[in-house]
């Protein structure tokens, strides 16, 4: 490190630490949470590690120092991780030979039923937003049982609460007929679940799967972690990932016995750098955002760095024409939509 002053030497030391952590994070998608739960927690921080290494790369590049190679090499090794945090894509125009099928996924946070926002018009705003965007199918997580206005615009619907005492659950609202439906009934004490509906459009039957994987009992909020300074927080988050793995395996069994093309969407409560995401994609599904998305694609309102935890995955036989993330402040999640060509 000749030619570096003490400050640059200190920065390069930090750079080396963050580069090593990012390099290690590339292994996380291959480590099942039930074998090492705490490691899975760090998948939430991969976007932060990527951004820090980009900053170090730009710093050394501006200084014309050979230390630029460290972060550059690590970032290039994990290039696929980069495209999971930021995408540059072009939408494909729908020609006369294309049969469009547009879906949306949205965690609506119970339509503000419990007053997380002071805006009492949240239910009306969400309903207006969905009607204006006009998807053919919308999958909602944390759908509050009393909000039926939004469902009125969809003649076919499947709304499932986990049990009779539950106040919110999952919904699939469709403008096309639903010929079959079902609930996977995750074996946990929470409201998290997955449901499916077979939607018919023309000669095509598409299985829509709406998932809401295990939520965090402690939200991944930096301020809260700093205040509590407790390994109990991390232990609890680790167990969340273990439960997600159990739930994911139930979803995988449904996927494997499905005779139709699949659109799997919902709130994974996990990132694209996780074991959960990798396993779900391994069943012949692709990430619509990575094919047609633009920008950071963040779907969770987390102020420290972009978090994409809501996904639309589709069978490889479905071509995605367009992908959109809407930064509307009606929930702690942002809705996402994708348009597919059924031909």
- Domain locations in the chain as residue ranges: 6-85, 100-341
Q: Could you tell me which residues are beta bridge partners of residue 195?
A: 183, 210
Q: Could you tell me which residues are beta bridge partners of residue 174?
A: 137, 156
User: How far is 42 from 25, CA to CA, in rounded Å?
Assistant: 8
Over the chain, what is the mean pLDDT? 90
Q: What pLDDT is recorded for position 157?
A: 95
Q: What is the mean pLDDT of residues 284-303?
A: 93
Measuring CA to CA, which residue among 309, 196, 312, 169 is closest to residue 255? Answer: 196
User: pLDDT-derived band of residue 238, with 50, 70 and 90 as boundaries?
Assistant: confident
Q: Is 203 helix (H, G, I), strand (E, B) or coil?
A: coil
Q: Which of 72-86, 213-227, 233-247, 278-292 has the lowest mean pLDDT?
A: 213-227
DSSP letter assigned to residue 93: P
Q: What is the mean pLDDT of residues 252-274?
A: 97
CATH architecture observed for domain 100-341: 4-Layer Sandwich (3.60)
343 against 300, higher pLDDT: 300
CA angle 65, 69, 74 (to 5 degrees): 150
Contact 285, 314 (CB under 8 A): yes
Q: What is the mean pLDDT of residues 179-198?
A: 92
User: pLDDT-derived band of residue 237, with 50, 70 and 90 as boundaries?
Assistant: confident
Whether residue 150 is predicted with pLDDT greater than 80 in this model: the reply is: yes
Q: What is the mean pLDDT of residues 33-46?
A: 89
Q: What is the mean pLDDT of residues 236-241?
A: 86
Q: What pLDDT is recorded for position 2?
A: 67
Measuring CA to CA, which residue among 175, 170, 146 is closest to residue 158? Answer: 170
Per-residue CA distances from 108 to 149, 164, 334 (Å): 14, 20, 9
Whether residue 220 is predicted with pLDDT greater than 50 in this model: the reply is: no
pLDDT digits (tens, 9 = 90+) for 94-119: 566 778 999 999 999 998 888 888 88
């Amino acid at each position: 490190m000749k030619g570096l002053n003490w400050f640059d030497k200190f920065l390069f030391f930090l750079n080396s630490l963050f580069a090593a952590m990012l390099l290690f994070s590339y292994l996380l998608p291959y480590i099942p949470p039930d074998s090492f739960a705490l490691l899975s927690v760090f998948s939430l921080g991969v976007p932060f590690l990527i951004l820090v290494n980009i900053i170090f790369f730009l710093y050394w590049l501006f200084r014309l120092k050979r230390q630029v190679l460290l972060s550059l090499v690590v970032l290039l090794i994990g290039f696929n991780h980069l495209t999971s945090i930021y995408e540059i894509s072009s939408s494909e125009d729908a020609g006369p030979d294309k049969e469009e099928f547009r879906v949306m996924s949205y965690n609506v946070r119970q339509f503000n039923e419990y007053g997380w926002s002071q805006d009492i018009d949240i239910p009306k705003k969400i309903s207006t937003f969905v009607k204006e965007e006009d998807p053919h199918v919308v999958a909602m997580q944390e759908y509050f049982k009393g909000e039926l206005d939004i469902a009125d615009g969809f003649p076919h619907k499947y709304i499932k609460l986990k049990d009779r005492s539950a106040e919110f659950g999952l919904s699939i609202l469709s403008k096309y007929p639903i010929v079959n439906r079902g609930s996977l009934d995750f074996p946990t004490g929470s409201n998290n679940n997955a449901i499916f509906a077979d939607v018919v459009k023309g000669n095509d039957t598409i299985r829509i799967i709406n998932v809401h994987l295990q939520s965090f009992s402690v939200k991944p909020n930096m301020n809260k972690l700093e205040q509590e300074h407790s390994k109990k927080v991390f232990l609890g988050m680790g167990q969340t990932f273990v439960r997600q793995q159990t739930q994911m395996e139930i979803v995988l069994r449904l996927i494997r016995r499905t005779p139709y093309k699949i659109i799997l969407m919902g709130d994974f409560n996990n990132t694209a750098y996780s074991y959960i995401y990798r396993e779900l994609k391994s069943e012949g599904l692709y990430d619509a955002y990575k094919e047609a998305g633009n920008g950071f694609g963040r779907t969770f309102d987390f102020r420290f760095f972009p978090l994409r935890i809501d996904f639309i995955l589709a069978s490889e036989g479905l071509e995605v024409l367009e992908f959109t993330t809407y930064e509307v402040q009606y929930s702690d999640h942002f809705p996402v939509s994708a348009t597919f060509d059924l031909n």
